[in-house]
Amino acid sequence: MQNITHLIEQYKVVASGKVLEAYKFILERTESLEGLLPSQQVSTLWNVYCQHYSQRENNLNGKLFEAILATIMLKNGVSPIFVQAKVVFVPNVNFDFILYSKEFGPISISAKTSLRERYKQADLESVSLKYVHRKARCFLVTMDKEEATRLERKRINGDLLGIDEIVLGNESSFDAMVEFLSQLNLEEPAPVQIISALKILR
């Protein structure tokens, strides 16, 4: 594959320590991502990690998954991406990824390798974002197909309050998400003026 340093720099993937080590391991064993759909690109990188990297652990799994998603979104024209982002007036939440669009304002992407009860945190974060930014869109991206199917039924039945779409990183729903995001006018939001007034009395 092309030079690792160039790839990481080109895709602006923020990785260090164990994550960077695992990421380099994956890239060294990946032939090419060219000509593949975004979901196939995710699947290629994730399968190399799951099948060949012997030092996997839960925390590393999540960070590596985030690095792969960031890589693929950037590679497919989705930028800028704010990583581990805070949104003004949404307290005590670090979003995995935030995009900012002219059409919807902030768009959150929560990355979970597996779901179980962790979807509740993602849904609560989505509710918090939408409480302030009414038009915000919220995606949950996972590799856990069985749980994603169960969660999609919950979403359809109205049991999820904030998450708009459940996305499988290695299936067509991820391609659709990337296509949707790449068509938006994404930008860095202007600084927020907390208070404005006609006069200030001192």
Per residue of the chain (202 residues), what is the pLDDT tens digit?
455 566 666 656 666 788 888 988 998 888 888 899 999 999 999 999 999 999 998 889 999 999 999 989 998 999 999 999 999 899 899 999 999 999 999 999 999 988 877 889 999 999 999 999 999 999 999 999 999 999 999 999 999 999 999 999 999 999 999 999 999 999 998 877 666 667 666 6
pTM of the model as a whole: 0.90
Neighbouring CB atoms inside 10 A of 189's CB total: 14
Pair of tokens at residue 152: 């999609």
Reference 48, options 18, 26, 15, 24; nearest CA is: 26
* Closest by Cα among 91, 191, 83, 101 to 132: 91
Cβ-proximal residues to 72 (8 Å cutoff; 6+ apart), any chain: 38, 41, 42, 45, 178
